């Protein structure tokens, strides 16, 4: 009954949208988890030595790329099926 109401096309579109959301969201959680540890350590190091600021910042933002990967995947999904 329900199957009859939703066309195949709409179903695929919906799944793609959910997938795109999951790609960004999960990647965000992952990056956040990764950054939390590095960030704490970096702040500790900077407290010891101000000169570490640049390098600390660099290390902290490294996992952020993961979110961008997620975002690119979601774009591709939306371009392909959205």
Partner 1 sequence: MLKPEKMVKISVVGPREQLEYASEILYKVNLLHIEDPKEAEYFRIGEPLEKASLISRSLVQLRSYISYLKIDPSRIVPKRKYKSKEIEEVLSKKLEEYQEQIGRKIEEKRSIDERIRGLEEELRVIVPLKVLGIPSRLLMGYKNLRCFVGFVKENPVGELSKITNLFDAVVKEYDKELLVAIFVKAEYGDDFFRTLQAFGYRELHVPDVDDYDARIREIVREKEELLNRKKQLEKEIEEIKVKEAELLLTIEEYLSTELDKSELPLKALFSKYTFVIVGYVPAKQLDKFKNEVERNGKIVVEVIEDEEDNPPTKLSNPAVVRDYELLTTTYATPKYKEIDPTPIMAIFFTIFFGMMLGDMGYGLLILVLALYLKTIFKTEGWQKLLNIALYCGISSIIFGFIYGEFFGPFIIPGMKKPSEIHFLGDILAALYSFNHHHPLFDRVEEFGVKALLFIVLVIGMFKMLWGFALGFYNVYVEHGMKEAVYEKGCWFIGVLGLVMLILGFSYNLGIFTSPPEEGFGRLLPENLYVLGSYTVEDGRAVPLPIPGLVDGWQAGVNIFYLLALPLLIIWFVIFLKAEIPKMGIFGIIMAVELLTWFGQIISYARLLAIGLSSVYIAFVINYLSVKIGTPPGMALLPVAIILLLIGHAGNLLLGILDPGLQSLRLHYVEFFTKFFEGGGKEYSPFGRVKKFLED
First to last CA, the chain: 25
The CA distance from 31 to 50, in Å, is 25
Decide: 43 and 57 in contact? Cβ < 8 Å. no
For partner 1, the closer of residues 2 and 54 by Cβ is 54
Shortest CB 48 distance to partner 1, Å: 17
Q: How many residues bind partner 1 (CB under 8 A)?
A: 15
Which tokens is 76 given? 């591709």
Query: According to the binding rule CB under 8 A, does residue 75 interact with partner 1?
Result: yes
64 binds partner 1 (CB under 8 A): yes
Residue 58 binds partner 1, judged by CB under 8 A? yes
Which DSSP symbol is given to 49?
-
List contacts with partner 1 (CB under 8 A).
53-55, 57-58, 61-62, 64-65, 68-69, 71-72, 75, 79
């Amino acid at each position: 009954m329900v199957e009859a109401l939703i066309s195949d096309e709409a179903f695929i579109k919906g799944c793609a949208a959910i997938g795109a959301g999951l790609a960004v969201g999960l990647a965000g959680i992952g990056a956040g988890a990764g950054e939390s540890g590095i960030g704490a350590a970096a702040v500790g190091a900077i407290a010891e030595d101000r000169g570490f600021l640049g390098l600390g910042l660099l290390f902290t933002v490294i996992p952020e790329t993961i979110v961008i990967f997620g975002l690119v995947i979601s774009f591709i999904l939306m371009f392909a099926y959205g």
